[in-house]
Structure 1
Amino acid sequence: MLLVRSIIRPEKTGVVLSELLSAGYPAVTKMDVFGRGKQKGVKVGDIYYDEIPKEMLLMVVEDSDKEDVIKIIMKYARTGENGNFGDGRIFVSPVEEAYTISTKTKGL
């Protein structure tokens, strides 16, 4: 099992979640987050924005589903044909175990 964490633009969250659901990946945790990437924030005129609002999507998926999930997020979270700074990041980490509290079952 793998944890797929994606940090994307808030305006892209709806379409990404919709496409993940359509592809058979309904289980997602969504959080509002703030931060900056390699560009160290954004300067608009005289105003410098150090913390930019984003959405973080967390999903635990089977190893075999990783590529499909990443392709969906990359396709629908990207802005413009060539993408833009601030479109986001995807991080993948191993998950050793998962449990469902209500049923006390192990696994997804």
Structure 2
Amino acid sequence: MLEAVAITAVMRTLADPTRRGIFERVVNAKEITVADLTKGSGVTQGAISQHLKSLRQAGLVAERPEGRNVYYSARPDGLAPLVDWMDHYGVFWRDRFADLRSLLKEIDP
């Protein structure tokens, strides 16, 4: 049941387009502050902080305080529950693609 909770947390967190955008910016930076994330985003600093809190709770980002700043970095292992879930269903799609490939060969040898 714990695994289902982790998958749900990651999916819910990344379902929000603003949060996904913030996560992508964190992934593309080694480390980034809330102030840097706020620049040019059209989102308030408070909203960015709330989105980062959700990302942190889902295990997708880590924070490192330094002086007055908090630096955020991506935690790729946070995506593991989602990747595992997709791998489980990947078998279904691989079989379907193999069937499609065979059918196409039959239609157009």
Give TM-score, length-normalised by structure 2. Answer: 0.23
Q: Which has the higher contact order (CA 8 A, sep 6+)?
A: 1
> Which of 1 and 2 has greater Rg?
2
Give TM-score, length-normalised by structure 1. Answer: 0.23
Structure whose residues are more often strand by fraction = 1
Structure whose residues are more often helix by fraction = 2
